[in-house]
A and B are shown apart, each in its own frame.
Chain A
Amino acid sequence: MTNCATLNEPPFPPSNQTGTEFYFPTKNYQHITKPGLTENTIREISDLKNEPKWMLDIRLRAFRHFQLLTTPTWGADLSGIEFDKIRYFLKATDEKPSWDDVPPEVKETFDRLGIPEAERSVLAGVKAQYDSEVVYGSLRKEWEKDGVIFLSMDEGLKRYPDLVKEYFGKVIPSNDNRYAALNTAAWSGGSFVYIPKGVNVKMPLQTYFRINAELSGQFERTLIIVDEGAKVHYVEGCTAPNFTSNSLHSAVVEIFVKDGATCQYTTIQNWYKNVYNLVTKRSRVETEGQMIWTDFNMGSKVTMKYPGFILAGKGAKGETLSMALAGSSQHQDTGSKAIHLAPYTSSNIVSKSISKDGGRASYRGMVKIAPDAHHCKSSVICDALILDGQSRTDTYPTNIIDNNQVEMTHEATVSKVGDDQLFYLMSRGLDEEKAKKLIVNGFIAGLVKKLPLEYAVEMNRLIDHEMEGSVG
Chain B
Amino acid sequence: MANIKMKKSFTAKPQTIILDSSTDYVIKKPGNYIFELVTPKTEISISMVAKAKGEENLETEILIHHLAPEIKAQTTLKAVGFDSSKISLKAKILIDPECKKTKSFLTERVLLVSPLARALAIPDLEILTDDVRCSHAASVTKIPEEQIFYLISRGLKRRVAEEMIVEGFLKTDH
Using CB atoms and an 8 Å cutoff, list the residues of chain A in contact with chain B.
371, 374, 384, 386-389, 391-416
Q: Does B141 contact A (CB under 8 A)?
A: yes
- How far is B122's CA from A252's CA once the two chains are assembled, in angstroms? 27
- How far is B43's CA from A196's CA once the two chains are assembled, in angstroms? 61
- How far is B122's CA from A394's CA once the two chains are assembled, in angstroms? 13
Q: Does B37 contact A (CB under 8 A)?
A: no
Docked-complex contact B122 and A398, CB < 8 angstroms: yes
Interface SS, B side: strand
The interface centre, meaning the residue of B122, B125, B131, B139 with most chain A CB atoms within 10 A of its CB, is B125
- How far is B125's CA from A401's CA once the two chains are assembled, in angstroms? 20
Q: Which residues of A contact B126 (CB under 8 A)?
A: 392, 394
Q: Does B151 contact A (CB under 8 A)?
A: no
Q: Which residues of B contact A388 (CB under 8 A)?
A: 130
Docked-complex contact A416 and B131, CB < 8 angstroms: yes
Question: Which of A394, A401, A407, A409 interacts with B124 by CB under 8 Å?
Answer: A394
Q: Which residues of A contact B116 (CB under 8 A)?
A: 403-404
Docked-complex contact A406 and B142, CB < 8 angstroms: yes
Q: Which residues of B contact A387 (CB under 8 A)?
A: 130
Docked-complex contact B132 and A399, CB < 8 angstroms: no
17 contacts between A and B (CB under 8 A): A386-B130, A387-B130, A395-B123, A396-B122, A396-B124, A397-B122, A398-B122, A399-B119, A401-B118, A401-B121, A406-B112, A408-B138, A410-B138, A411-B135, A414-B132, A415-B134, A416-B132
Give the distance to chain B from A178, nearest Cβ to Cβ, in Å. 21
Docked-complex contact B139 and A409, CB < 8 angstroms: yes
Q: Which residues of B contact A415 (CB under 8 A)?
A: 132-134
Q: Which residues of B contact A398 (CB under 8 A)?
A: 120, 122
Residue of B at shortest CB range from A403?
Answer: B115
Asked if A414 meets B117 with Cβ closer than 8 Å, knowing A389-B97, A406-B140, A409-B137, the reply is no
Docked-complex contact B136 and A411, CB < 8 angstroms: yes
Closest 8 CB pairs between A and B?
A404-B112, A413-B135, A395-B125, A410-B138, A414-B134, A404-B142, A408-B140, A399-B121
Docked-complex contact A416 and B130, CB < 8 angstroms: yes
Q: How many residues of B contact A (CB 8 A)?
A: 35
B44-79 interface (Cβ within 8 A of A): none
Residue of A at shortest CB range from B102?
Answer: A414
Residue of A at shortest CB range from B142?
Answer: A404
Q: Mark B128-159, 1 if CB is under 8 A from A, else 0.
A: 11111111111111100000000000000000
Asked if A401 meets B136 with Cβ closer than 8 Å, knowing A410-B123, A412-B125, A414-B127, the reply is no
Docked-complex contact B129 and A410, CB < 8 angstroms: no
Give the distance to chain A from B87, nearest Cβ to Cβ, in Å. 9
Docked-complex contact B131 and A410, CB < 8 angstroms: no
Docked-complex contact A399 and B138, CB < 8 angstroms: yes
Q: Which residues of A contact B127 (CB under 8 A)?
A: 384, 386, 392-394, 414
Give the distance to chain B from A337, nearest Cβ to Cβ, in Å. 14
Docked-complex contact A402 and B118, CB < 8 angstroms: yes
Give the distance to chain B from A443, nearest Cβ to Cβ, in Å. 14
- How far is B127's CA from A384's CA once the two chains are assembled, in angstroms? 10
